[in-house]
């Protein structure tokens, strides 16, 4: 089959982890895949691995001009046809207690995981069928959310904000896109074993040293890295993405290893349990005792 007659899908954040696993499964399933990366070295490596069924797109989702140029490149390849799917996978995680998180770091989190996703969607939506006339049936959008888009955790507030926002934005956009027949599906992974945990293990948390959250932040980092390394691989998420793109009537949300029982409990009880596990109750009692002692001149 000619490459230009194959169904084409764009996958952002394709250099490692979930993105690369998506490219691998989609190529194996007979798709032609455009995978976005930020480095020439990653483009060359993926090209060598996937050969003629893959084409790299060089852009960062925060760079509007580069995203627009990539969309023009894909449009030229389609030659009047319609893009089969867009998989918005690119993203970052900026950890830290919100009271001490630098505002620029928070802004970077939202810009990458939320604003960047909309930027990509706006650029590629016409190729999915959000225009008239269109050269084929409408395509689908798959947004990579997270269990963190529905259940918040301490020290991941910025990431939670980006994913909660992505959930809401996706619901609104899906309803708006019905006028074009374009569907939008959310994938909600739990912990998945990817290189992100190696990055997390090396993450610099010195900015939070000396704050009341320092001991708990160290615990959360340790638990997260250990849990992430022991989690299922990214291939399970790739299977969910393939389902979202090809099932006749896919569900709006597809959870992947998102077994968080805390979501079934009352929110106040969850607050108490998390505070207990992080030692917040003991810290609070210590602060109260010190305050009382100072008042009494002790």
**Of residues 65, 61, 107, the one with CA closest to residue 86:** 61
Query: Which residues are 37's β-sheet partners?
Result: 58
Q: What is the pLDDT of residues 222-264, one digit of tens each?
A: 767 766 666 678 999 999 999 999 999 999 999 997 666 666 7
* Alpha carbons 221 and 21: distance in angstroms, whole number: 25
Instruction: Give the per-residue pLDDT at 79.
Output: 92
DSSP label at residue 22: H
Instruction: Give the per-residue pLDDT at 198.
Output: 62
pTM recorded for the entire structure: 0.88
Domains of the chain, by residue range, sit at: 3-195+232-264, 265-298
* Alpha carbons 23 and 33: distance in angstroms, whole number: 6
Instruction: Give the per-residue pLDDT at 1.
Output: 41
Q: What is the pLDDT of residues 41-98, one digit of tens each?
A: 999 999 999 999 999 999 999 999 999 999 999 999 999 999 999 999 999 999 899 9
Q: What is the pLDDT of residues 24-38, one digit of tens each?
A: 999 999 999 999 999
User: In this structure, which topology does domain 3-195+232-264 adopt according to CATH?
Assistant: Rossmann fold (3.40.50)
* Alpha carbons 246 and 119: distance in angstroms, whole number: 24
Residue 131 pLDDT level (bands cut at 50, 70, 90)? confident
Cite the active site residues. 159
């Amino acid at each position: 089959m000619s490459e230009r007659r194959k169904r084409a899908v764009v996958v952002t954040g394709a250099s490692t982890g979930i993105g690369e696993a998506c490219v691998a499964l989609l190529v194996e399933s007979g798709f032609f895949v455009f995978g976005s990366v930020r480095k020439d070295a990653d483009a060359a490596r993926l090209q060598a691995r996937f050969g003629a069924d893959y084409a790299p797109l060089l852009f960062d989702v925060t760079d509007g001009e580069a995203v627009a140029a990539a969309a023009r490149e894909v449009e030229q390849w389609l030659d009047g046809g319609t893009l089969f799917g867009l998989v918005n996978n690119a993203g970052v995680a900026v950890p830290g207690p919100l009271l001490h998180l630098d505002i620029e770091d928070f802004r970077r989190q939202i810009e990458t995981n939320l604003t960047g996703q909309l930027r990509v969607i706006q650029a590629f939506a016409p190729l999915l069928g959000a225009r008239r006339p269109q050269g084929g049936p409408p395509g689908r959008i798959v947004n990579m959310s997270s269990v963190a888009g529905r259940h918040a955790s301490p020290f991941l507030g910025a990431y939670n904000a980006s994913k909660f926002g992505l959930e809401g934005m996706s619901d609104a956009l899906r309803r708006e896109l019905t006028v074009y027949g374009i569907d939008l599906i959310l994938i909600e992974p739990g912990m998945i074993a990817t290189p992100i945990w190696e990055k997390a293990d090396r993450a610099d948390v010195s900015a939070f040293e000396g704050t009341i959250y320092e001991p708990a932040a160290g615990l959360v980092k340790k638990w997260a890295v250990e849990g992430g390394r022991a989690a299922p691989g990214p291939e399970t998420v790739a299977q969910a993405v393939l389902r979202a793109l090809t099932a006749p009537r896919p569900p709006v949300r597809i959870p992947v290893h998102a077994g968080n029982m805390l979501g079934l409990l009352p929110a106040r009880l969850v607050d108490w349990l998390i505070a207990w596990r992080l030692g917040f109750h003991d810290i609070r009692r210590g602060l109260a005792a010190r305050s009382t002692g100072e008042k009494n001149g002790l």
